[in-house]
Amino acid sequence: MARVGLGSLGVVTEVTLQCVPAHELVEHTYVVTSDEIRRQHAKLLHDNKHVRYMWIPYTHDVVVVTNNPLRQVGGNPFGFFDVCLVDRKVGSNLAECCALFFTG
């Protein structure tokens, strides 16, 4: 039987969350080599609000996903739609882009 002592952690009785206003993000997804990531890492972090890397096992390829607020990209719904169509080349994502465009 394991014994756990929580005395040093105290007891949490209240939590306060700070929220930010809702905002729309524009996502860009592309594949680059791991060498390219090493060269561009600092620039990607500086230029984007959110950056995610997903390494493809047994290859030197990395999927890069960046997200930025719509207003930072330009704030134009048509511009958003164009970006969405260019970046999301898979057919199933086209429906998602259309839904985002037409529902706001």
Residue 50, φ and ψ in degrees, nearest 5: -135, 135
Q: Which two tokens stand for residue 44?
A: 């990607």
Helix or strand run (H / E) with residue 67: strand 61-69
Determine if the pTM surpasses 0.85: no
Residue 39, φ and ψ in degrees, nearest 5: -75, -35
- The whole-angstrom separation of Cα 42 and Cα 60 is 19
104 residues of the chain, pLDDT tens digit each: 666 666 666 777 788 888 878 878 888 999 999 999 999 999 999 999 999 999 989 999 999 999 998 876 555 544 444 445 444 444 445 555 555 555 54
- The whole-angstrom separation of Cα 2 and Cα 79 is 58
